[in-house]
A and B are shown apart, each in its own frame.
Chain A
Amino acid sequence: MATTSLKQLSDMPELLSGGHAACPGCAGPIVIRQILLAAQQDDVYVVSSIATGCMEVSTTVYPNSAWRVPLVHNAFENSAATISGAEAAYRSLKRQGKIDKKVAFFAWGGDGGTYDIGLQSLSGALERGHNFTYVCYDNEAYMNTGIQRSGATPKGAFTTTAPAGKVSPGKGQTKKDLTAIVAAHGIPYVAQASPHRPRDLMKKVQKAVATEGPAFLNVLSPCPRGWRHPPEQTIEIAKLACETCVWQLFEIEDGKTTVNYKPKERKPVRDWLESQGRFRHLFAPRNEHLIEEIQADVDRKWERLLALEAMDKAQAD
């Protein structure tokens, strides 16, 4: 049986080696480590593709790689299409009796490679029903190329292509709701997770692996460099995202939504914004109205999520 017990996991092999070149305090490798630990258990082996991005360039520098599971990097926008080919190969070779191992296919991509340039490839692979798990490590901008805005960048954040200036308060648009877009494909398993709750994340990974067909995990990945917070605060920041409901932990199993974490008392979004340099300009008097606006966006989205959960529950009862 797959386990999420840290005690038991401590005897399992480390599947992402040290020595990689991710920035200090980067959430990306934390997310990858937790997921690989949870996924490659019992007789299941992980085979992965990864999109161009921070994690790709920092963990695979020729002639070395940090990955102790098979990995392919093809290009930026085709992580899902690439794994769909590998998974098709597996099905064909298995049918021909040429392979007998149990393989869990994973495709990895950052938010740029998933929300934006890789969306079509992801959508196609989901619709075709390949048996794989897509993991988006969402650090809310193109960090690898120098902190440019993406569809995942939240409203008001400073990025190098939507900087805060004399007339502009950073990104003017709201963050794309990729998880909802993915869920709209009607795939069997969709979840949002965060590395600050490893057992929740790892349970979701194990559900994804056990799912027959496509599964999707959207994992918040704080980026000290781009979000402008000290590296030691990475886990704290991820936690704060959930306490303020800026990031919500939930899963959608066969279309039914369950919210996995409901803060007893929601912290104000202001706390979240204050924790990171990328929002600093919002506290200038001329921009402060945006804080109310962002709070209202978060409230609306959170209430809608709770309503969805209640509705699905009522339907089930």
Chain B
Amino acid sequence: MAERMALTGNDSVAYALKQINPDVVAAYPITPQTEMMHKFAAYVADGEVVTEFVPVESEHSAMSAVVGASLAGARACTATSSQGLALMWEILYITASYRCPVVMPVVNRALSGPINIHCDHSDTMGARDAGWIHLYSENCQEAYDNTIQAVRIAEHPDVRLPVMVCLDGFILSHTLEALETNDDEAVRNFIGEYEVADSLLNVEQARTFGAFSLQNYYFEFKKQQADAMERAPVVVEQIGREYGELSGRHYGLLDAYRCEDAELVLVGLGSTMGTVKQAADDLREAEGIKCGVLKVRCFRPLPGEQIRQAVKGAAIVGVMDRAVSFGLGGPLFHEVRSACYGETVGMLNFIYGLGGRDLSLTDAKDTFRALLQAADSGEPEPTVRYIGLRE
């Protein structure tokens, strides 16, 4: 039976992992991911999962072990944050290119330095070209739901790519939320058995995995990855619908909130979108400003055409980035702007919340107002703006 539970983001994902019951989980502790693995290790200790838990000595080895496990025919997961993801970097690309359908919750945290343990998206943004599918979660419910869907997406024969499920550090990972969970059997049936065509453990058919590929072959392998990424949006949508049938909670690539008639639209990722939705409601009610919010759930592959359709009726669009690509601006902004190439809609970039700097409801409203002002004045300069930053 579906059950309503009070769980933190970390615990909700650990609970999803318990229901997924992976064959292998390899992980290394890092704040703020730690409690997720505490919880999962307790499931292992109590025999509630069949999982072989590998408490590795680094995130680099976590991802390496997960690749070994995945190629050996195991459903394999890991989880990390920030520096841990950075240490995995090299193997992230290998996991994707070896087409290992690994699922990895990433509890978003700012990258050093200086060292900081709080939320921003600099960690996963840096990994956006590694060949993984990126799903961002607005709340603990979504973190739970995304983790379960990620298994199906990753393992889908048209895709076979690893998926990272992003949830904001502390803001979600450590916040208790009442959420709905599915029952174990429903999850088991939803994800099905993991099947592999080629396994390292198929000792009677010795194969070599990851052969040295030179100028004559490497390029084709990259195109295969690009093709799989191109096939992924349909799969993400289809599985989002199926999950909706199971749980009553439907998922798409984007979540367009009050965008139909919106003159101002803020685009962004993760938990902040909850605050921004509230700001949109408040401004519509109190001041009659037509605000809308476009939450990008699936950041990789980027649903460019859907983004363009969602925002093209607006007078102006603000893209909110919790990361900065130094010398360029916010990464999401540049991708959204290029997705909207040819549209006349104005576009601003708001960089906010680095290192866990809070974005209040007032900040969110001010951001809409800044958009309004830029639209009214017809002078949307400067393009890249910072919110909540001291002079």
Please list the residues of chain A having a beta carbon within 8 angstroms of any beta carbon in chain B.
45-47, 49, 56-57, 60-65, 67-75, 77-78, 81-93, 95-96, 98-99, 101, 103, 120-121, 123-125, 127-128
Are A121 and B64 in contact (CB-based, < 8 A)?
yes
Q: Does B217 contact A (CB under 8 A)?
A: yes
Known: A47-B200, A86-B71. 16 other contacts (CB 8 A): A56-B212, A60-B208, A60-B211, A60-B212, A62-B214, A64-B211, A67-B206, A67-B208, A72-B210, A81-B68, A85-B65, A85-B66, A85-B76, A103-B203, A121-B60, A124-B61
Contacts of B52 in A (CB 8 A): 88-89, 91-92, 95
Contacts of A70 in B (CB 8 A): 199-203, 206-209
- Could you write out 5 A-B pairs with CB less than 8 Å apart? A70-B207, A73-B211, A92-B23, A101-B203, A127-B57
Q: Does B56 contact A (CB under 8 A)?
A: yes
Are A124 and B56 in contact (CB-based, < 8 A)?
yes
Are B208 and A74 in contact (CB-based, < 8 A)?
no
> How many contacts A-B (CB < 8 Å)?
172
Chain B residue nearest to A102 in the complex (CB): B203
B55 to chain A, nearest CB (A): 7
A223 to chain B, nearest CB (A): 19
Contacts of B71 in A (CB 8 A): 72, 86
* Residue in A45, A63, A78, A95 whose beta carbon sits within 8 Å of that of B211 in the complex: A63
Q: Does B296 contact A (CB under 8 A)?
A: no
Are B64 and A89 in contact (CB-based, < 8 A)?
no
Contacts of B54 in A (CB 8 A): 84-85, 88, 128
Q: How far is A177 from B85 in the complex, measured between Cα atoms in Å?
A: 32
Q: How far is A214 from B201 in the complex, measured between Cα atoms in Å?
A: 19
Q: Does B178 contact A (CB under 8 A)?
A: no
Contacts of A46 in B (CB 8 A): 203
Are A85 and B24 in contact (CB-based, < 8 A)?
yes
Contacts of B214 in A (CB 8 A): 61-62
When each residue 245-289 of chain B gets 1 if its CB lies under 8 Å from chain A and 0 otherwise, what string results? Answer: 000000000000000000000000000000000000000000000
Check A73/B69 contact, CB under 8 A, given A85-B24, A92-B74, A99-B201. Answer: no
B224 to chain A, nearest CB (A): 13
* Residue in A67, A82, A95 whose beta carbon sits within 8 Å of that of B65 in the complex: A82
Are B203 and A63 in contact (CB-based, < 8 A)?
no
Check A85/B212 contact, CB under 8 A, given A69-B206, A92-B50, A101-B203. Answer: no
By Cβ-Cβ distance, the 4 closest A-B pairs, closest first, are A85-B68, A124-B57, A85-B65, A89-B74
Chain A residue nearest to B26 in the complex (CB): A85
Chain B residue nearest to A15 in the complex (CB): B206
Contacts of A92 in B (CB 8 A): 23-24, 50-52, 74
Contacts of A61 in B (CB 8 A): 211-212, 214
Q: Does B127 contact A (CB under 8 A)?
A: no
Are A47 and B201 in contact (CB-based, < 8 A)?
yes
Are A65 and B211 in contact (CB-based, < 8 A)?
yes
B91 to chain A, nearest CB (A): 6
Interface residues of B in 59-117 (CB under 8 A from A): 60-61, 64-74, 76, 90-91, 94
Q: How far is A70 from B200 in the complex, measured between Cα atoms in Å?
A: 5
Are B56 and A81 in contact (CB-based, < 8 A)?
yes
The residue among A68, A86, A120 with the most chain B CB atoms within 10 A of its own CB is A86
B198 to chain A, nearest CB (A): 9
Contacts of A84 in B (CB 8 A): 26, 54, 56, 61, 65, 68
Q: Does B175 contact A (CB under 8 A)?
A: no
The residue among B74, B76, B90 with the most chain A CB atoms within 10 A of its own CB is B74
Contacts of A74 in B (CB 8 A): 64, 67-68, 91, 94, 210
Q: How far is A225 from B86 in the complex, measured between Cα atoms in Å?
A: 37
B314 to chain A, nearest CB (A): 45
Are A120 and B90 in contact (CB-based, < 8 A)?
no
Q: How far is A245 from B349 in the complex, measured between Cα atoms in Å?
A: 68
A217 to chain B, nearest CB (A): 20
The residue among B58, B71, B203 with the most chain A CB atoms within 10 A of its own CB is B203
Q: How far is A179 from B203 in the complex, measured between Cα atoms in Å?
A: 30
Are B57 and A85 in contact (CB-based, < 8 A)?
no
Q: How far is A61 from B214 in the complex, measured between Cα atoms in Å?
A: 8
Are A93 and B74 in contact (CB-based, < 8 A)?
yes
Contacts of A77 in B (CB 8 A): 60
Contacts of B206 in A (CB 8 A): 67-71
Q: Does B213 contact A (CB under 8 A)?
A: yes
B162 to chain A, nearest CB (A): 14
Chain A residue nearest to B209 in the complex (CB): A72
Q: How far is A128 from B24 in the complex, measured between Cα atoms in Å?
A: 15
* Residue in A64, A86, A95, A127 whose beta carbon sits within 8 Å of that of B50 in the complex: A95
Q: How far is A244 from B154 in the complex, measured between Cα atoms in Å?
A: 56
Contacts of A98 in B (CB 8 A): 73
Are A89 and B60 in contact (CB-based, < 8 A)?
no
Q: How far is A104 from B201 in the complex, measured between Cα atoms in Å?
A: 11
Chain A residue nearest to B49 in the complex (CB): A92
When each residue 208-226 of chain B gets 1 if its CB lies under 8 Å from chain A and 0 otherwise, what string results? Answer: 1111111001000000000
* Residue in B66, B94, B199, B201 whose beta carbon sits within 8 Å of that of A75 in the complex: B94
Are A78 and B61 in contact (CB-based, < 8 A)?
yes
When each residue 364-383 of chain B gets 1 if its CB lies under 8 Å from chain A and 0 otherwise, what string results? Answer: 00000000000000000000
Contacts of A67 in B (CB 8 A): 206, 208
Chain B residue nearest to A84 in the complex (CB): B65
Check A71/B76 contact, CB under 8 A, given A47-B203, A91-B52. Answer: no
A97 to chain B, nearest CB (A): 11
